[in-house]
Structure 1
Amino acid sequence: MATQQAEAVKVNDVTVCSICFEKFKTPRYLPCKHSFCHDCLCSYIVSQCKSTEPRLGFHCPLCRQYTVSEGDTEKPEKWTEYFPVNIVLEKIVSQTNNKCCELCLRENEQEIASNYCLTCKEYLCIMCTKYHRKFLTMKDHKIVNLCEMESVQVFPTLEEANRCPIHCNEEIQMYCDDHEQLCCGLCGATTHKKCENINMINKAAQDLMEKGDIDSLIDATNALKEKLFCVKTEKEINKEEIQNTEDDTRLKFEEEFRSTIQHLEKLKDEYLDKMASTSKKGKEKLQKEIDSLEECAICLNSCIQSLQRAKNTCNEKERMIKFLTAKKTFAKLKKIEFKYTLKVKVERDITPLWHEICNLHDIAIFNLNVVPRLVDSDVKNFELTVYKRITVEEGNITSGLFLSDGDFLLVNEGEGSCNVYNEEWHCCHINKCVSKPQDVTQSEVGILVTNPEDKQIEVFSPIYFQKIRKFKQLRSIPVSYAVKRITCFEGNLFVSIPNTILKIDNKGHISKFYNSMLKHFNDIVATKSGLILWTENHSHVWNTSGKVVAMTIKGDNAWEYERSSLEIPHGLDVDSFDYIYVAYRNNNSVHVLSNVGSLIRIIENIPKPLFFKLNEARGTVCVGSGENEMIVYKFK
């Protein structure tokens, strides 16, 4: 229908909506002065907001100027109501077929209108237009020739736009600071009569300049803009990293695929050669037996012919000789063991891995791992509120970790299990693949659980768990030492064993020993800036406290943090801003450190924290409290 209407009217007709190409119905205008039908603008805004989050504004359909909405970000379908109705355009549309001078009509005269006054919102004839311009009070009125209406943006004058939102016929005269609202004198005498901070509009505008509120807001806006620009730049870099990862993975996979195909071709050739060789041996063996049988058959034919001649001869001596000769030959042949019941077969014993390859549905499972990162962090002021307490039966809690999908994995050495809790904090799976698990971390190779009893690290698939809510063990990483604590950084694993820390790769190959005279490590973690932190406990020295030690990848000591009063640090965690959280179990507190080891704050009243794990995206902290209890906190 819109297409048919477009043929009947000019596209640049001032009375036609540029979205539906029909006459305006309740036209509303944007700050850029372009007008659209109420329903057309509403549909356009909703369609534009589908691809944006958060929903803050939209671009004008004509000039693409960005318009910030005052409406609810969750209800873009209501935004249109916040834009004023173009009452001038509405009147023009309603009087399309009645263009007589309205001043003359009031005098019972009828003159064809030639102009339109946008200020008075009235049609004027030539004579009335002439006198309209002469009056001093109407000298600034905007008058448009009707022939030029097609190329002019029609919208209310500034005086019309600056009307009170409640009393449409009253101009804005006052500002209520208590409600942060502009209002007219009538509102000031009624709705805002009890407000203490209400001023005339000129006084309020003057105060804005004197107090510097505009400059302060400009500075705050620029600061937020700079912060958002940094986040945007970070995301663009992240996007480029994804592309680079895709390119590198593609090249690596193509090379691995070619190598795999070459290897399979080689195995195929070897398979066919072995099959041909084995078949040849079987055929040669059978051919020898066939030749032997043929010779026996010839000999038997000879005996039969000899017996036939003996039977048919009249010479009795010859008959006896041939009979006896045939009898001896038959007796000799009868003693030969003919292997009629033996059958030669070529059998194959296929490697079980071949069936797995043939039944392979996916070479790899790809998953988008979204790591939460806040734009800002008020680490000095956030407060913790207890959300839930979870008791672990037969518990000896040693560690925990928020997985990439938001679930929490709790390591329970006492029961020999890894318990997984979903976002509602219900235990959705218990994994008992490791007899005495100690610590857990997650890297690109999977979920890594230390197994000191078997001197190895168990690797589980996080993607497989997300699909069917069960752990699938991928492999084991042998270490040859009783590994207890583990962390990862840039593709390497850093693990603690008695007296030292090891740097190993994903296959268990040791690339560095970090010398230490320690007897006991409580925890180990890597920061975003590339420091390896551990908490140590001089439990063999009486009346001493433990400390937090930061070390570079090369093994140089970066800094140490130590407290008095026999405080012994246990669990460590690092947030997206590289703030370090140290759990002090024996004095019920968590110390927050900067990445250079300075104390920022102490979070008190955390019962016996063994570990302190944050999930910034969910606003959640999980604390191992004692040996058999876990406390979930919410923070703001």
Structure 2
Amino acid sequence: MATFTNDLEHFDDLLTCTICLETFIVPKYLPCLHTFCESCIKTYIVSSTEKDNQSEGFKCPVCRKFVSYVNRPDKPEAWASSLPMNHFVRSMLDKRSIQRSEKLCNSCQFNDKTKKAISWCTSCEEAFCEQCDECHKSFKISAKHKLISIKEIQSGGFDLKTSEVLSCEEHHEKIVEVYCVDHSKPCCTLCATLSHRKCENVISIENAAKGIKQAKLTTSLVTKLDERNKEFHQIIENRKDSMTKFETISENIIQEVSTLKMAAIVHLQKLEEQIKVEVASSKKRFFMKCTDELNTFSSYKSTSANWHSVLKGSIEHGSDQQCLMEVNKIGPKMSIVEKEMAEEMKKMKNITFKFVPSELIEKFKSNVKSFGCLNIIEDQFSSMLPVMGIRQRVNFHSGDIKILHRINAAENSQTSAIFIGDHLVITSFITCNVGKYSLDGKYIDSLALEKYPNDITQVDQCQVAIAIYSRNKIVFVDITKMKLLRTLDLQDITIYGLCCVEGNNLIISSRSNLTWVDSSGKKVKQKSTSGCSYFVSKSETKHYVYGEGDNSISCLEGDTVKFMYTSEQLSHPRGIGIDFEGNIYIAGQSSKNIHQITNDGKLIRIIPVNTFGIIHPWTIRFAPNSNKFVVTCSFSGKVILCEIS
């Protein structure tokens, strides 16, 4: 019979502090999920804050992510004690010490004594020696606790579960007891009282965690982490190979220069030194750039590998609740890392150079001023950030547009559509419903809504928000179950288009205003526009694009307009799509075309929509990290699924 500890030895890295390289003592974790001994991270925090003269936080020793302690009254010496305990790691340590017969009595340790443990209390999650075992049984408060023999656990007769004590991320001293389905967030009773009292779907953490290890969300995240680790490895190896090749090229150039030098040693000594300096300088700049990129992606890989190890560890040895906690911690952070990684790779270039000797080298005394020149050659870094696969190379600027499927979602109705996972989700203004279709255009399911649903945006993996135009409401729907989750009533805000941003906040577009609201519907800020702001979209670089009058759109960066695009051939801009390279697509409802522009507002091409079989385009949206997009119509109810080759 296999024991519960069979695979624990494979998780030594997970149980080792990366600062002291010893087994964890009081494991505490940072927001990036890297874990350290409390004493180790305390020493590190104090030294790093003194070294950097930084009183607002510190950087993680592994991934260099900044941990903010702005406005905290306590000194850096106290920051480590405020970090949350990694109960999962502590439970794994208990398991391993029991397996190795190293477990000491917890009660005796409090009195600075060391006695070997003979039993384990499943209620207190502590080990006891023979004397403490008898005392534990004799106390009224613990008399009914279940005590298991250490030998029985070692033999596999009892499956020792990891700790189900889960600390709340917001209130570290509190224990997670409930789960808000509306916000996909585990929380303590204090969180539930303060932040989720108006939420309709708050359930126990036990019920929420049922089946989480086999859930698609968990398996998909494991798969995504596997793929990201492979991608990080490929990028790091690419940078190492580039450095090696650059070293070889540099050496070859130096050799070529030296050969030429021998033919004219006296006159060319000075020029030789000049070219050496130029080569060394170019190599230094390139190596510095590659080293920065190497460090960046090594950091990403370390973070991803740690998350992967934590998640696999929680799946194989953790409780359902612990696994749920890890999934909820890692999933959003993975999305942030993907966006950061995408931005980093856009900046990356593969560089080489070659030496071009002067044609007049034989006449160097009278004609030659230098050995030659270095041609630095750059091409776009080949790897693109994937989502469940590698992004295809797509010629967005001039590629052919192919129609994949035509869907008659409604009769004589304007529609809005969005990609959610492997489905296309479509709202119908007149028939007042939201429908779910497969990507081959087949109807799957629908849900009736209030009058009149006008736009849709993705909130998380399975949840969408839908604008109800006539009632000034936003409804949230679980697309997996096709179930209404909750409703936000925004009586003082006209609602037309929607865009979900960080923290599940929303931007609402309403003809001549953009309004930012938080997840509870509270107005955060508002911006006036010149009109025609029926829809708003967000790019991967956090720019917001919206209609700005009858013939224009604007791109907003923070509170500043980055650019405005205006064309007489654009009339009544409506839906706005953005591909993964940042190109912007504007649906001209009255001009009956789609304007494709660059991310800095330069026209690429104008696409007539009669080729799609519609007359008045309404919305246009791209599938994440894909060349596929969908166009809807303002009158016919047709939805056209396309791709750019």
TM-score norm. by structure 2 comes to 0.41
More RCO (CA 8 Å, sep 6+): 2
